[in-house]
């Protein structure tokens, strides 16, 4: 069952920042801030059933190596608990448990993605909940997480934060729910740093991805948005500074595949 948790007393009033009165970007379009979350939800409602297949096609399967590299850097251990935000289909959660971590809470704003993740968990025989060393599935917003302060040993967010209306709020929430000494890891598409690869990647993103989306997922517009959202996301050093501004310590990053993606790490002190 997907839980819908409400705000806890411990976190009431902790999220600051803009309140939906201005504009923000939705791909290359400018939209009202208070409309973006619903528009993003619509994108992932549309692609949920084909999301994992499209990830394989879009990245030629390389996203699997990136996620494994994320687990290598996190180094799950017995007793370590994880909050995975925006991980509705369970890719990160499954890897974390397979590597020896303890319970995982997957929190995603999109119920269709969570349902798909739950179905995958059932297929793999992963029926236990968080308290028993398995997975809880929770509907929630990255900018207003429904968990108390100091709740988790680790926080991961993969290919999600660029879709958040105010990423700075999501980073602050990550710090809040981590225990002192807890680890923050973000995996996200980033700025290509290798000459020529950036041109090839641009052509792939804007010429091929929307066509794949149309042919495989029946949704060209959603994959056009996803390509545009990658270009609007801050480059590595700028995002590293945002992580530091949110109060997370020792931020650093590692480029993957020439900067097509990057992993960002930091700590809650």
pLDDT at 112 over 50: yes
HSE of 248, CA atoms in CB hemisphere, 13 A: 31
Contact 157, 170 (CB under 8 A): yes
pLDDT at position 183: 98
Q: What is the pLDDT of residue 37?
A: 80
pLDDT over threshold 80, residue 107: yes
Q: Can you give the pLDDT at residue 20? A: 47
Q: For the chain, what is the mean pLDDT? A: 88
**pLDDT at residue 18 is higher than 80:** no
15 pLDDT band, cuts 50/70/90, is very low
Enumerate domains of the chain plus CATH numbers: 34-267 (3.40.50.150)
Matching residue, tokens 């029946």: 218
214-234 pLDDT, tens per residue?
887 787 888 888 888 888 899
107 CB-near residues (< 8 Å, 6+ apart) = 83, 84, 85, 86, 87, 138, 139, 140, 142, 145, 146, 147
Residue in this structure with the two tokens 């002190």, named with its chain if needed: 269
pLDDT tens, residue by residue, 159-199: 999 999 999 999 999 999 999 999 999 999 999 999 899 89
pLDDT tens digits, one per residue of 257-267: 999 999 999 99
Is residue 264 within 8 Å of residue 243, measured between CB atoms?
yes
Question: What pTM was estimated for this model as a whole?
Answer: 0.86
Whether the predicted pLDDT of 250 surpasses 50: yes
**Cα–Cα dist 39/29, whole Å:** 12
Q: Which whole-number Å values give the CA distances from 189 to 22, 162, 172, in the listed order? A: 26, 8, 20
| pLDDT tens string 27-83 | 777 878 888 888 877 777 777 777 777 778 778 889 999 999 999 999 999 999 999
Element (H, E) at 138: strand 135-139
> Could you give the CA distance from residue 187 to residue 131 in angstroms, rounded to a whole number?
26
SS3 state of residue 95: helix
Mark out the alpha helices in 16-133 (DSSP H runs): 33-47, 51-59, 62-74, 91-98, 111-123
> Residue with structure tokens 């002192």?
180
pLDDT score for 21? 63
Q: Which residue has the higher pLDDT, 212 or 17?
A: 212
């Amino acid at each position: 069952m997907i839980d819908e948790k409400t705000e806890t007393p411990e976190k009431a009033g902790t999220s600051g920042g803009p309140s939906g009165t201005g504009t923000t970007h939705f791909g290359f379009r400018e939209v009202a801030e208070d409309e973006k979350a619903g528009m993003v939800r619509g994108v992932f409602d549309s692609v949920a059933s084909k999301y994992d297949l499209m990830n394989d096609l879009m990245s030629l399967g390389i996203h699997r190596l990136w996620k494994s590299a994320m687990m290598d850097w996190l180094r799950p251990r017995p007793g370590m608990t994880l909050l995975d935000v925006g991980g509705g289909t369970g890719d990160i959660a499954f890897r974390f448990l397979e590597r020896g971590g303890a319970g995982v809470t997957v929190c995603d704003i999109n119920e269709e993605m969570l349902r798909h993740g739950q179905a995958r968990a059932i297929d793999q025989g992963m029926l236990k909940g968080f308290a028993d060393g398995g997975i809880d599935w929770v509907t929630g917003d990255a900018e207003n997480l429904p968990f108390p302060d100091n709740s988790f040993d680790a926080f991961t967010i993969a290919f999600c934060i660029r879709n958040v209306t105010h990423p700075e709020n999501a980073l602050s929430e990550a710090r809040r729910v981590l225990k002192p000494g807890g680890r923050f890891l973000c995996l996200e598409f980033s700025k290509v740093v290798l000459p020529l690869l950036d041109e090839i990647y641009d052509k792939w993103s804007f010429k091929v991805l929307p066509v794949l989306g149309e042919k495989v997922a029946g949704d060209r517009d959603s994959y056009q948005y996803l390509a545009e959202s990658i270009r609007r996301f801050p480059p590595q050093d700028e995002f590293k500074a945002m992580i530091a501004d949110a109060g997370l310590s020792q931020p650093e990053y590692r480029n993957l595949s020439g900067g097509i993606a990057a992993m960002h790490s930091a700590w809650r002190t």
